[in-house]
Amino acid sequence: MFLTYLRRELSQRKRQTLLVAVALGTSIGLIIVVNAASGGIGDAQKTVLSGLYGIGTDISVTKNVQPNQDGRGFAFGPGNTDAAGGSTLSQTRLTVPIFSGTFDQQTLAQISHTKGVAKTAATLKLNQITFKGNIAAAAQDPTAPRDPNSQRRGFGGGNFNIDMTSIEGVDTSDSKVGPLSGVNIDKGRNFQASDANSTNALIDSTYALAQKIVVGGVLSVNGTDFTVVGTVSSASATPETSSNLYIPLAQAQSLSSNPGVVTNIYIAADSSSNTAAVQKAIETLVPDATVSSQADLAKNLSGSLSSASSLVNALSKWLSIIVLLVAFLIAILFTSSGVTRRIRELGTLKAIGWKTNRIVRQIMGESLVTSFFGAIIGLVLGIAGIFIVNAVAPTLSASVARPGRFGGGGPGGAGFQPPDGGFQPPAGGFGGRGTGFGRAAANATTLKLHIGMNLSTLVLAVAIAILGGLIAGSYGSWKASRLSPAVALRSVA
Partner 1 sequence: MSNTVLYSIKDLSKSYSQNNKKVNALRNVTLEINHGELVSIQGPTGGGKSTLLQMLGGLDKPSSGSISLAGDQLETLSEVKLTDVRARKIGFIFQNYNLIPTLTALENVQTALVPQGVNKANSEKRAMAALESVSLADRATHLPAELSGGQQQRVAIARALVKNPEVILADEPTGNLDEETRDQIIDLLVDLNRNQGITVILVTHDSSVAKRASKNLHIGNGVVTTR
Task: Determine, following the binding rule CB under 8 A, whether residue 15 of this chain makes contact with partner 1.
Answer: no
In the complex, least distance from residue 337 CB atom to partner 1, rounded to whole angstroms: 16
Closest CA to 465 of 328, 326, 347: 328
Task: Determine the Cα–Cα distance for residues 441 and 419; give it in Å rounded to an integer.
Answer: 10
- Closer CB to partner 1, 6 or 471, in the complex: 6
Query: Interacting stretch for partner 1, rule CB under 8 A, among 80-88, 274-282, 353-361, 372-380?
Result: 353-361
Task: Determine, following the binding rule CB under 8 A, whether residue 1 of this chain makes contact with partner 1.
Answer: yes
Query: Interacting stretch for partner 1, rule CB under 8 A, among 302-310, 346-354, 417-425, 436-444?
Result: 346-354
In the complex, least distance from residue 56 CB atom to partner 1, rounded to whole angstroms: 60
Residues in region 465-484 near partner 1 by CB under 8 A: 484
Task: Determine, following the binding rule CB under 8 A, whether residue 350 of this chain makes contact with partner 1.
Answer: yes
Query: Interacting stretch for partner 1, rule CB under 8 A, among 184-192, 232-240, 314-322, 351-359?
Result: 351-359
Closest CA to 155 of 344, 382, 413, 457: 413
Task: Determine, following the binding rule CB under 8 A, whether residue 13 of this chain makes contact with partner 1.
Answer: yes
Residue choice 188, 217, 428, 485 for contact with partner 1 (CB under 8 A): 485
- Closer CB to partner 1, 448 or 490, in the complex: 490
Cβ proximity of 197 and 407 under 8 Å = no
Task: Determine, following the binding rule CB under 8 A, whether residue 345 of this chain makes contact with partner 1.
Answer: yes
Cβ proximity of 122 and 171 under 8 Å = yes
Task: Determine the Cα–Cα distance for residues 246 and 2; give it in Å rounded to an integer.
Answer: 72
Task: Determine, following the binding rule CB under 8 A, whether residue 12 of this chain makes contact with partner 1.
Answer: yes
Task: Determine, following the binding rule CB under 8 A, whether residue 113 of this chain makes contact with partner 1.
Answer: no
Task: Determine, following the binding rule CB under 8 A, whether residue 121 of this chain makes contact with partner 1.
Answer: no
Residue choice 4, 151, 257, 273 for contact with partner 1 (CB under 8 A): 4
In the complex, least distance from residue 276 CB atom to partner 1, rounded to whole angstroms: 56
Task: Determine, following the binding rule CB under 8 A, whether residue 348 of this chain makes contact with partner 1.
Answer: yes
- Burial (CB < 10 A; 0-12, 13-18, 19+), residue 96, is buried
- Closer CB to partner 1, 428 or 485, in the complex: 485
Task: Determine, following the binding rule CB under 8 A, whether residue 486 of this chain makes contact with partner 1.
Answer: yes
Cβ proximity of 154 and 280 under 8 Å = no
Task: Determine, following the binding rule CB under 8 A, whether residue 344 of this chain makes contact with partner 1.
Answer: yes
Closest CA to 437 of 416, 452, 453: 416
Residue numbers at the binding site for partner 1 (CB under 8 A): 1, 4-5, 8-9, 11-13, 344-345, 348-356, 358, 484-486, 489-490, 492-493
